């Protein structure tokens, strides 16, 4: 789904909304993007220990990743780092929070839960992804995992590649929707010297670490932001054509990434990347 440009948003510093989700009272929500056309939402949902909601179904397809705490869906436990994709209309077991929990949720249309009702799975949704402990998944070279095309050329091999220091775990891809949800890790000291942009949406939630982005701007260069620094629980949304880079990280970075299509990166080297990146890294404060 199409998303608007957001350059740097500290999601957990935004005002939470109580009783916001249709059919799920008691959850506190920080919605950081909503697409007007489809009603699709990306938000962090906080639920206190002891929270419960009955079985039912949601009219939206949901990607759910546990940022903090622990919840149960029926008999199944979701601890930090667990992920599931529930297609629209699929029956959902009772949800209980066994610890104070924060869930990162992407919906493909307005979140609307129908408690104690039975649904019918939307045939246009992607296939159900059972609860997966993503810590146990192997890291994969993104060129083998989620990259369709990259115009960055490896100077050693002369072939399309990613700058070294990136690993991915694809959580949902190659379904009917064409969407990709993936974890992406950048090694401490990772440097991408160029700007990149994509023909698809790229929505990036920083789970942990930091990220420096030297420039971000539209193709007309009318709205230019420089030297953005993102930390844990920051969000950046890149609609098609929005340039971003050079990129580096001091502590490393773990992102949960939503792509509207398999990743295509279009690169251009930035003249002053060494000065910008070097200045940020020289002031490293590890945490």
Residues that bind Fe ion (CB under 5 A): 196, 202
88 vs 253, which CB is nearer to Fe ion?
253
Distance CA 44, CA 104 (A): 5
Minimum separation from the CB atom of position 245 to Fe ion (A): 8
Q: Are strands 129-133 and 71-73 parallel, antiparallel or unpaired?
A: unpaired
56 vs 163, which CB is nearer to Fe ion?
163
Minimum separation from the CB atom of position 248 to Fe ion (A): 14
202 vs 210, which CB is nearer to Fe ion?
202
Minimum separation from the CB atom of position 268 to Fe ion (A): 13
82 vs 242, which CB is nearer to Fe ion?
242
In what side-by-side order are the strands of the sheet with 91-92? 91-92, 56-58, 113-115
Q: CB of 268 within 8 A of CB of 214?
A: no
Minimum separation from the CB atom of position 114 to Fe ion (A): 36
Rg (CA), the chain: 19
73 vs 247, which CB is nearer to Fe ion?
247
Minimum separation from the CB atom of position 169 to Fe ion (A): 17
87 vs 163, which CB is nearer to Fe ion?
163
Distance CA 55, CA 92 (A): 6
105 vs 211, which CB is nearer to Fe ion?
211
53 vs 150, which CB is nearer to Fe ion?
150
Minimum separation from the CB atom of position 77 to Fe ion (A): 33
Minimum separation from the CB atom of position 238 to Fe ion (A): 5
Chain residue at closest Cβ approach to Fe ion? 202
Minimum separation from the CB atom of position 244 to Fe ion (A): 6
């Amino acid at each position: 789904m199409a998303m608007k440009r957001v350059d740097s948003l500290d999601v957990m510093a935004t005002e939470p909304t109580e009783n916001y989700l249709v059919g799920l009272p008691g959850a506190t929500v920080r919605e950081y993007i909503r697409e007007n056309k489809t009603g699709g939402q990306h938000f962090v949902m906080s639920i206190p220990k002891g929270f419960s909601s009955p079985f039912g179904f949601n009219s939206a397809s949901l990607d759910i990743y546990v940022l903090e705490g622990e919840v149960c869906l029926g008999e199944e436990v979701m601890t930090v780092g667990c992920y599931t994709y529930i297609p629209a209309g699929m029956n959902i077991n009772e949800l209980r929070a066994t610890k104070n929990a924060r869930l990162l949720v992407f919906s493909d249309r307005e979140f609307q839960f129908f408690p104690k009702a039975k649904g019918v799975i939307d045939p246009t949704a992607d296939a159900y992804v059972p609860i997966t402990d993503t810590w146990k998944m192997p890291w994969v070279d993104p060129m083998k995992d989620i990259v369709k095309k990259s115009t960055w050329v490896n100077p050693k091999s002369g072939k399309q590649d990613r700058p070294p220091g990136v690993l991915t775990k694809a959580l949902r891809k190659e379904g009917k929707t064409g969407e990709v949800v993936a974890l992406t890790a950048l090694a401490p000291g990772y440097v991408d010297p160029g700007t990149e942009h994509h023909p698809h949406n790229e929505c990036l939630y920083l789970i942990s670490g930091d990220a420096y982005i030297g420039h971000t701007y539209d193709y007309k260069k009318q709205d230019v932001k420089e030297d953005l620094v993102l930390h844990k629980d920051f969000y950046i949304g890149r609609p098609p054509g929005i340039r971003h880079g050079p990129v580096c990280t001091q502590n490393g970075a773990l992102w949960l990434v939503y792509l509207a299509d398999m990743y295509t990166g279009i690169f251009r080297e930035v003249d002053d990347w060494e000065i910008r990146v070097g200045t940020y890294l020289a002031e490293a404060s590890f945490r």
